[in-house]
Amino acid sequence: MPPSSPATLLPAARPPSRLRQAIAAVIHDPVMLGSLLLLVLLVALTAGAPWLTAHDPAALAPRARLQPSSDTYWLGTDSLGRDLLSRVLYGGRLSITLAALVSAIAIVAGLCIGLAAGYVRRLDAPIMRLMDGIMAIPGLLLAVAMVALGGANIATMVIAISIPEIPRVARLARSVVLSVREEPYVEASVGSGTPALKVLWRHILPSTINPLVVQATFICAAAILTEAVLGFLGLGFPPEIPSLGSIIAEGRPFFQRAPWIVLYPGVFLALLILAVNMFGDALRDRLDPRLSRKTKG
Amino acid sequence: MNPAFRPQAAPASCAPPILDIRNLKVRLPGGGDRRYAVDDVSFTVHAREIVCIVGESGSGKSVTSSAVMGLLPKGTLTLESGQILLAGRDITHAGRDALQKLRGNRMAMIFQEPMTALNPLMRVGDQIAEVFEFHAKDLGREEVASRVLALLSDVRLPHPEKLRHAYPHQLSGGQRQRVMIAMALAMEPGLIIADEPTTALDVTSQAQVLRLLNELRGRHDNGVLFITHDFDVVAEIADRVVVMQAGRIVEQGQAADVLENPRHPYTQRLLAARPRGDFRAKALDPAGAPALEVRDLALRFETRSLFRSRRRSVDALGGVSLQLARGETLGIVGESGSGKTTLGRCLARFAVPTAGEMLIDGQPVGRLSGQEARAYRKRVQMVFQDPFRSFNPRRKIGRTLAEGPMNFGADARQVHARMAEMLELVSMDRSALERYPHEFSGGQRQRLSIARALMMEPEILIADEAVSALDVSVQAQILDLLESVRDRLGVSILFITHDLRVAARLCHRIAVMQRGKVVEIGTARDVFLQPSSDYTRELIASIPGHAPARDGAKKAFFQSGSGAAGDAGEVRPAR
């Protein structure tokens, strides 16, 4: 290597923009592309539910009970003659909204707690012991208790499902902070008089984003499932609000005569969770250099 | 590929060389700045011979050794053409199983970092025994045990009977490296490849390991292919030298010839760039109050335990007293664990001393609070060792440089002017401000790192191993830069290093540290030429290439520089 004169710079290949890199990554990864397409499709279906369905999900039609799929009722009807397609799509909409809210709350709260625990050494032990305590409570039990206390509205549900996720996020964020805070560039910044909050914001927070984005996808999947389980147990939302779990629960007595009532929401739930999980896995492979098989160019 | 046309530097002997590499070409993946990692390389290693491959990072020296071991990473580096002969047998295209039988048995490798090369969960004796389990299955347990013992005593490890039950973390770096050597020697291989085996070691352990390798080849008849970046190590042990640059051999020959009369300009440049004890820094007159004074500084780490008797403590600093004059460069030298880095961290206020005082301009630092403590940050700045980790990879250089002054409320225009000025001082282009750290080489980043520290207009610069991670030629440039910064801005520099050669070149005064204490302090010339403590003498004697040579052709290490000539002979310590 000829010793270049110090003033010359290495060939400046400006890296392509982050967006373009992201698009290229998605296109070249079949798992990522497939799961993302499926996810977009499912979200679009539920978001467009009012326009895609002809029936009100709560409209009773006692004459059209337990009908198989037909031109009028594409996915058939349930035991009260309600349109199953609208119920599944509205239920999915509720699940997805809830999952988004839960992961947003869990990530933001967990991140703040994790940053505090990782950066302020004195707070570390008390905060993390509290988190250990929360982790010891079974998530479902907590949700059942909170719904029983606070009533089944969306706020209670979101909080009930978020709380058990927070310690996991906090631990992850803390571990990233602990390794990044030792980096010389962080010390250099502290050494030039940067206040602690600015150091956190500028130099430490950005490193936590990648693992937390991946974690968010897993929280989404878990939240969808928890909500469905609560609905199935009859502890979810009131019966006039369709939820995937409660649709399956209501269809269970009629499983022999009308299996589609259980089948369609079940398939929808499975596809949704599969898509979210696969997307999360692909994202992790992409973002976590230790697990990625491809060497970066 | 006609062997008749290869230069034959080998001594006359009818046995084929242990290792014969002919026109080796290793291809790099496309898109880089060159096509071959190793380009048309030919050389030989004979029995009982030490051949050194020297070159800077990226010269292809490690790729060459990986190719011999059959350890080229699949898919990225491909052996394109050429031949590798091990004791006359062509192993260029040997299959995986064949190579596995050869490795350890006919050729063995010693790595740079013995801690990661050894299994941390296995006793070292068992790890050596494992070599026999694979290559000599018919040996009985008793036989293996006695051979392991013999090997451990062969590499001069103390108490082999006890030591073989130790885990790697219980040994020192030098001992671990000797265990690695014992493993390599287990099957009496003809060839030992040592890839920078002493780079991670302290200078005294380095000297021991080099002596050991030198001595073992006579007893075990093995050839050694020794990869290094350090010409002084070459001077210490090499019989022959291969100098590589950008994948090509630029020069090879007998070690003494190449070192004394380098023909190729690249070799000449590398040799000239070696840090030499030429004592460039003239002693300062100690007028005026010291910029920084340290009195009995101590830092004790204690393990916490409920029971007083179970608490253990380590004195990282055990009462250090120093003075740093305005404009002076004070070198802190010592081996790992000597407390030199802890001292620097205390002074930069990254660590809190448990006792003692630090005075800046006569004011005690320990009692500074709030606003004053922040102002102290401005007056003392640090330059870090690892140029690749000392910049936030997500931020443009300009934002990193501006961060410090902005924290102290400087306005944008002033900061911009200062950035331009500092970049000029460190000979970097202004366009650097708009770039990201990954676009720069290690040396360039270290320049930027110095520029960042200077942005704060500090009075004191703490450079912690600031040139240790750099190639020699780049190292020389950064040392020149520090010199010019010192002369132009008049900053005091606390220069922490393990490398005595570097310290001798840059510093006015040098403090030698051992186990948290300063054992000797004085002008650079006095410390090196008339060391007063035994420890300093030992350190100086361990500098590679400095000890009296086997053939007597090597020069004494420290020249007297610009002062009175002829006292270089006094350097050699009495043994």
Among A104-108, B478-482, B571-575, the range of highest mean pLDDT: A104-108
Count of domains for chain B: 1
The shortest C-alpha distance from B544 to chain A (Å) reads 25
pLDDT band at residue B287 using 50, 70 and 90 as cut-offs: low
The shortest C-alpha distance from B175 to chain A (Å) reads 29
Report chain A's mean pLDDT, rounded to a whole number: 85
- The per-residue pLDDT for B575 is 33
Could you count the other beta carbons within 10 Å of the beta carbon of residue B286?
12
pTM of the model: 0.79
Contact check, Cβ <8 Å, B246/A2:
yes
Per-residue pLDDT tens over the stretch A89-121: 999 999 999 999 999 999 999 999 999 999 998
Indicate whether B92 pLDDT > 90: no
**Mean pLDDT, range B230-239, rounded to an integer:** 88
Indicate whether B205 pLDDT > 90: no
Residue of A185, A197, A209 for testing the chain B interface, max B β-carbons within 10 Å: A185
For A41-52+74-287, CATH gives: 1.10.3720.10
- Point out which residues pair with A161 in neighbouring strands: none
Contact check, Cβ <8 Å, B391/A185:
yes
Structure tokens at B357: 């005082």
Identify all chain A residues contacting B384, using CB atoms and an 8 Å cutoff. Answer: 184, 187-188
Q: Is residue B237 part of a domain?
A: no
Give the chain B residue nearest A185 (alpha carbons).
Answer: B390
- The per-residue pLDDT for B77 is 83
Chain pair A-B, CB pairs under 8 angstroms: 96
- The per-residue pLDDT for A151 is 81
Contact check, Cβ <8 Å, A193/B395:
no
Per-residue pLDDT tens over the stretch B131-180: 888 888 888 888 999 999 999 988 888 888 888 899 988 888 888 888 99
Domain of B321, in residue numbers: 292-304+312-497
CA torsion through residues B392, B395, B396, B400, sign: negative
The shortest C-alpha distance from B315 to chain A (Å) reads 22
- Point out which residues pair with B358 in neighbouring strands: B294
Identify all chain A residues contacting B452, using CB atoms and an 8 Å cutoff. Answer: 188, 192
- The per-residue pLDDT for B340 is 87
- The per-residue pLDDT for B468 is 83
- The per-residue pLDDT for A167 is 95
Higher pLDDT, A73 or A9: A73
> Nearest CA to B514 among B317, B299, B294?
B317
The shortest C-alpha distance from A189 to chain B (Å) reads 7
Q: What is the ipTM of this complex?
A: 0.76
What's the CATH code of the domain at B359? 3.40.50.300
Give the chain B residue nearest A183 (alpha carbons).
Answer: B389
Lowest mean per-residue pLDDT among A237-251, B301-315, B343-357? B301-315
Contact check, Cβ <8 Å, B58/A1:
yes
Q: Calculate the alpha carbon distances from B233 to A100, B84, B241, B272, B543 in Å.
A: 61, 26, 11, 15, 9
Residue of B392, B406, B430 for testing the chain A interface, max A β-carbons within 10 Å: B392
Structure tokens at A218: 């897993």
Q: Is residue B427 part of a domain?
A: yes
- Contact between B273 and B473 (Cβ < 8 Å): yes
Report chain B's mean pLDDT, rounded to a whole number: 83
Q: Give residues with Cβ within 8 angstroms of A125, minimum separation 6.
A: none
Identify all chain A residues contacting B477, using CB atoms and an 8 Å cutoff. Answer: 6
Q: Give residues with Cβ within 8 angstroms of B239, minimum separation 6.
A: B49, B50, B51, B254, B255
Residue whose entry in the numeric block shows the structure tokens 């720069």: B440
Higher pLDDT, B280 or B293: B293
The shortest C-alpha distance from B346 to chain A (Å) reads 12
Lowest mean per-residue pLDDT among B293-297, B324-328, B373-377? B373-377
Report the residue from A11, A188, A295 with minimal CB separation from B76. A295
Q: How far apart are CA B500 and CA A219, in angstroms?
A: 55
Indicate whether A5 pLDDT > 70: no
Q: How far apart are CA A170 and CA A107, in angstroms?
A: 8
B561: left (phi over 0), alpha (psi -120 to 50) or beta: left
Contact check, Cβ <8 Å, B440/A6:
no
Indicate whether B12 pLDDT > 50: no
Indicate whether B574 pLDDT > 50: no
Q: Is residue B481 part of a domain?
A: yes
Which H or E run contains B328? none
Q: Is residue B434 part of a domain?
A: yes
